[in-house]
Amino acid sequence: MFPALLRQARKLGLTLSLNRDAHPLERRRARSYMSYGRILFKGSTTTFFGRLHVDTQNSFIADQCDLEGLWELTRVTKLPVQYCARTSTGTGISYMQMELAYRDGVLIPEQKAEPENPKRPDELLRADRGGLVFLPRLGFFTNVGELDFVSEFPSIMARFNISPETVNCGCCPEAPRIPELGYRICQRRRGITSRVVERLIEKRQEYKRQMAGDDHAQPVILSEAKNLAVSTFETGRDSSSPAAPRNDRPKVEIRDPQEQGTTPASPQAVILSEAKNLALNVSKTGRDPSSSRGCGTPQDDSLRDVSAACKTPPSPHAAKQRRAALKWLLVCCFGYTGYKNARFGKIEAHEAINALAREKLLVAKETAEARGYRILHALVDSLYAQKDDATREDYENLTREIEQRTGLPMAVEAVYRYVVFLPSKQSPEIPVPNRFFCVPEEGEVKVRGLECRKHDTPPLVARLQREALMILAEARDFESYCRKLKEARAVLARYLEQLETGNIKLDELIINRRLTRSPGDYRQASATAIAAKQLERAGVKLRPGETLQYIVTNAEADLPDDRVRAWTLWEGWHGYDVKNYQKALREAFEAFEHFAESRPER
């Protein structure tokens, strides 16, 4: 929106000032990039001075965790709000690590990449492995408990002191060894990454207690300065040594608010809408900039209200959003230990975490089996255990025993009335790790690998699966499941008829696909390539990583342009391919019929 406004202003010879002062707008161009084998697109950004501009479609945290999550990330990372909204959570982790290193007087690496230690081929084969994944038992199972390690990888980093500088340190030659790898972990000093992670885990646990309405939960405050985004971390000094005088302790310089960016706890007139771009005015606080360091005394009633509000625990909803934001930091913290551009990264630390995770999952599996449970599936940090007469209390007792043996926190995620593990689409005899659905006694149905979870599924197909799942969720055993399946088939028949009669909304037929290359670089006439070239001819500039939308008009047509039509170019006379969409509905419904007694005629 803002690039278009600025272009129009230039055409009209107008000066469009969106900042509070004469600063020129800070803009970054859109770009395409590759991440974990996928081509992604990051839109252009426009940063304001004196105002906040939060683009929910260009900010993962603001989109997933709302403003509460964004404020939380800004507080713990010390990044300005607008930059925090647009950057990755990995950048936030790096800033937290650098701040802690600065406080400890540790030199911060200038280069972002540390080379991997040389390894023999057999050592590389043992080390270069991820989490442990079992293939599930195919079929319909009742009374299944899902046992999850709570934040397993971050907990391993905090519990076992895994950090780039603690792996194979030179000061502890007799330290215990990591299973399979033989890496040593420092026993004399805590690592920077493990301390950062430990603080985030504690903060998430506190928010969890606040979500549950625990009257004894204390407000989570990272700094004595309630209205500044500043964290106070432990210094990591030996507890046996005398405490350093306060004046000698490491300090972090807090820049002037106009340089630092407005802090999230300051009074602001903030409105968040679904609009793609939104300028947010920040009201003046009346605070003397010279008092921005340290606590200070609020200069007016509004700041007194802010200081008092920070002492009050957040609402359960706010605590949930903040906890979700911290979750993404913790998830990223593990991945960043092995990321080539991480300033505090080291692949050996990443390998050590994975090795410990594999060992702990095996210990959990053996513990459950020793107690008479059958392991149906194991997936990196979770177990699906089954015992016919087990109650929730039995599963909770099992998690406590696993906690004692592994040293890691574990919880019962849910006890499912039934679970259906589905085979591969290509072969009905081959199981796959991530294709199943689980129906709990209470709460939402858990779905993995079905069409309703995929971003490129037409809304009509996803709606059919969700509606069928709601009916099947009423079943309690295999016999009642088969009875409910008959009701679900009636829903399928209704959807098929609606396609025949045209009694549907056209936007429910839209298919979303991500471009993997520029439109002109496609060699095959795939549906994505056809729609992309249609838009290109219409003057729309597309880049790799962007998402386009189209409708299937005639999948069997000889001319490529007759097969699909870009959604923005679609007109009524193009119609849609009834048979193609009916086929998609039937294929989506097949997931529920794999283990039924009979299947309808096709």
Give the residue carrying structure tokens 């608010």. 257
Q: For the residues 525-539, what does the mean pLDDT come to?
A: 94
Cα–Cα distance measured from residue 302 to residue 409, given in angstroms and rounded to the nearest whole number: 42
pLDDT tens column, 228-254: 232 222 323 333 333 333 333 333 332
pLDDT tens column, 33-72: 776 677 777 777 777 787 787 877 777 888 888 889 899 9
| pLDDT beyond 70 at 444 | yes
Query: Strand 431-440 and strand 410-423: pairing?
Result: antiparallel
pLDDT band at 218 (very low <50, low <70, confident <90, very high): low
| pLDDT beyond 50 at 300 | no
| pLDDT beyond 70 at 269 | no
pLDDT given for residue 281 in this prediction: 34
Number of H helices, E strands in the chain: 16, 15
Percent of the chain whose pLDDT exceeds 90 = 51
Least confidently predicted of 21-35, 76-90, 92-106 = 21-35
pLDDT tens column, 195-212: 999 999 999 988 888 887
Q: What would the DSSP string read from start to end of 225-269?
A: -TTS----------TTSPPPPGGGS---PPPPHHHH---TTS---
| pLDDT beyond 90 at 456 | yes
CB atoms within 10 A of CB 130: 11
| pLDDT beyond 50 at 183 | yes
pLDDT given for residue 18 in this prediction: 79
What angle (nearest 5°) sits at the alpha carbon of residue 127, between those of residues 124 and 131? Answer: 140
- In this predicted model, which residue has the larger pLDDT, 316 or 422? 422
pLDDT given for residue 64 in this prediction: 84
Structure tokens at 103: 């406080």
Cα–Cα distance measured from residue 599 to residue 601, given in angstroms and rounded to the nearest whole number: 7
For residue 278, give the nearest of 24, 63, 77, 29 by alpha carbon.
Answer: 63
| pLDDT beyond 60 at 224 | no
For residue 75, give the nearest of 306, 273, 284 by alpha carbon.
Answer: 306
* 476 φ/ψ angles, rounded to the nearest 5 degrees: -120, -20
13 phi-psi bin (left φ>0, alpha ψ -120 to 50, beta other): left
Considering just the CA atoms, what is the radius of gyration of the chain in Å? 28
Distances (CA, A) of 86 to 42, 197, 309, 496, 547: 9, 22, 27, 43, 19
* CA dihedral sign, ordered 517, 520, 523, 528: positive
pLDDT tens column, 541-593: 898 999 999 999 999 999 999 999 999 999 888 899 999 999 999 999 999 99
pLDDT given for residue 310 in this prediction: 53
Question: Please, are residues 180 and 126 in contact by the beta-carbon 8 Å criterion?
Answer: yes
pLDDT given for residue 265 in this prediction: 36
In this structure, the dihedral spanned by the alpha carbons of residues 433, 434, 440 and 445, taken in order and rounded to 10 degrees, is: -170
Q: Which residues contact 471 (CB under 8 A, 6 or more apart)?
A: 484, 487, 488, 491
What angle (nearest 5°) sits at the alpha carbon of residue 490, between those of residues 485 and 495? Answer: 120
Chain CA centroid to CA 292, Å: 34
Query: Strand 139-149 and strand 382-386: pairing?
Result: antiparallel
Q: Which domains, ranges and CATH numbers included, belong to the chain?
A: 450-602 (1.10.132.60)
For residue 80, give the nearest of 63, 65, 92 by alpha carbon.
Answer: 92
Give the residue carrying structure tokens 């004399």. 188
Q: Which residues contact 585 (CB under 8 A, 6 or more apart)?
A: 460, 461, 464, 492, 495, 496, 499
Predicted TM-score (pTM) of this structure: 0.77
